[in-house]
Amino acid sequence: MFVKVLCFVVLLKCVVAVGESQNQATTRQRYSGYNVNNVNQNDYISKIFGTVTGLQSSSHDINQKLDEIDNKVSRIDSETRNGFASLKNVVGHETPSATLNHVKREIEAMRLDLMSTTHKRQADASSSEPDCSEKLTAIATLLTSTRSAIAGIQRDFMSFSTNMSQLLALSSDIHKRQHLLPTKQYLNNVVHATTSPHQRIPPVYGILNNPPRLGSSCFHISQLSSSVTGDIEIQRIQVPTIPEPFFVLCDHETQDGGWTVVQQRIDGTINFNRNWLEYKNGFGNIAGEFFIGLDKLHAMTTSALCELLIVMEDFENNTRYAKYSAFAIAGEREDYAMNLLGGYDGTAGDSLSFSASYKFSTFDNDNDGWVEGNCAQAHTGAWWFNACEMSNLNGQYLGGNEGTGKISANNQFQGIYWNTFNGPNYSLKSVKMMIRPVAERTNFYSNLD
């Protein structure tokens, strides 16, 4: 009985031993597999060899143990026959020979099982040994080529990232220079211009996709404080709806600055009694007397909500101002009507609200509210005439005679006048009309009064 139990223990240990050696082999392989990049290949291969050898020797051990078991079982057989009587007492009702046969069958089944496994493994180990070494060689070759492939990929990657950063640098350079590239539209224009002798080649900035960054108003420029060089200065601006940038006079001094001057009278050197086309396009000298032009005024007052400031001076050196919280004029199709004029504030009095909503008129284009007559002709000016006006800042420069602004009776309304500041029998010494965006400064609705 005791011997029989011992035999079972031996058998179990045997099975466990085989299982363990198998597990160890697979575990080691798996571990090596994960670290194929780091572990020396020779190391790896010798480990595989070790595992195979281990498998072979454990098969040998198993055979030996099986032989032992065989012997032991034979011995049990005979001993059991001898101890038949005592065994009968233990197993009770079962016949001893049946029990013994049962045990024998069990042991035999296990033995066969074990034998077949062992033989299979032995056969594998011996018959596939040349195969195995071939496979190992193949794996080693594969590993070597994989390693060199990885090194190659690494080299390519390094070169690729170098190329990539060069490309990035290049593309940002191109991006910076992109505005210098003419568009198809521009080239078309040039072709047109060169084929028709009277047309001038359009300036390149007029048709650029990406023109150089310019302020869109004097206020915008004043926000880029480094570009402001003086209280009153000429700057170049670019208004969204006008393709070409243009020069403007900026007043960075009056009422917190940031004003774009749209009209200026100072000494009468420029004739303001001009026709529609000239008022449309603008005229004069931006560094002196000028009118900026209705197209530009329309573009500027519609690209951003603007306020209007008019500063006037008489020959007694009195300065007055009239400020309107909002100001915009329509386009040419609506005859540049003053379709937005906000609330008045100032010291000169309000002499402009009378013109709000009225169209612009010149002597050759009468859009005024005076049915029977022509305000522009009668008052020698160009303005948003009602029937006719309370101010005529584009009137004739009539002041200055003997250092005074007083004008003769037949010139009433014809000078540069502001009804609430010296009236229509006076022609002012200087006038400056200026606009400034308000939308980005304050809440536009609270400014409309």
Ligand X SMILES: *[C@@H]1O[C@H](CO)[C@@H](O)[C@H](O)[C@H]1NC(C)=O
By the criterion CB under 6 A, which residues form the site for ligand X?
156, 159-160, 163, 316-317, 409, 412, 423-425
Q: Which of 20, 16, 14 is nearest to 55 (CA)?
A: 20
Q: What's phi and psi for 56, nearest 5 deg?
A: -60, -45
Cβ proximity to ligand X: between 222 and 380 the closer is 380
Task: State the minimum distance, in angstroms, from the CB of residue 219 to ligand X.
Answer: 28
Q: Strand pairing of 290-291 and 259-265? A: antiparallel
Cβ proximity to ligand X: between 240 and 400 the closer is 400
Q: What is the DSSP string of 318-337?
A: -EEEEEEEEEE---GGGTT-
Residues 6+ away with beta carbon under 8 Å from 271: none
- Tell me how many degrees the CA angle 235-328-430 measures, rounded to the nearest 5: 60
Task: State the minimum distance, in angstroms, from the CB of residue 136 to ligand X.
Answer: 35
Cβ proximity to ligand X: between 36 and 153 the closer is 153
Cβ proximity to ligand X: between 36 and 174 the closer is 174
**Cα dihedral 37, 42, 45, 47 in deg (nearest 10):** -100
Cβ proximity to ligand X: between 117 and 404 the closer is 404
Task: State the minimum distance, in angstroms, from the CB of residue 155 to ligand X.
Answer: 9
Cβ proximity to ligand X: between 152 and 240 the closer is 152
Cβ proximity to ligand X: between 108 and 156 the closer is 156
Task: State the minimum distance, in angstroms, from the CB of residue 173 to ligand X.
Answer: 16
Task: State the minimum distance, in angstroms, from the CB of residue 419 to ligand X.
Answer: 8
Q: Chain centroid to CA 407: how far?
A: 62
d(CA 91, CA 86): 9
Is the bond preceding 375 in cis, omega lying within 30 degrees of 0? no
d(CA 330, CA 367): 14
DSSP single-letter state for residue 420: T
Instruction: Kindly report the number of other CB atoms within 10 A of residue 51's CB atom.
Output: 19
Q: What's phi and psi for 39, nearest 5 deg?
A: -75, 140
Task: State the minimum distance, in angstroms, from the CB of residue 158 to ligand X.
Answer: 9
Strand, helix or coil for residue 291: strand
Task: State the minimum distance, in angstroms, from the CB of residue 312 to ligand X.
Answer: 14
Task: State the minimum distance, in angstroms, from the CB of residue 424 to ligand X.
Answer: 6
Cβ proximity to ligand X: between 35 and 163 the closer is 163
Q: What is the DSSP string of 167-187?
A: HHHHHHHHHHHGGGSPPHHHH
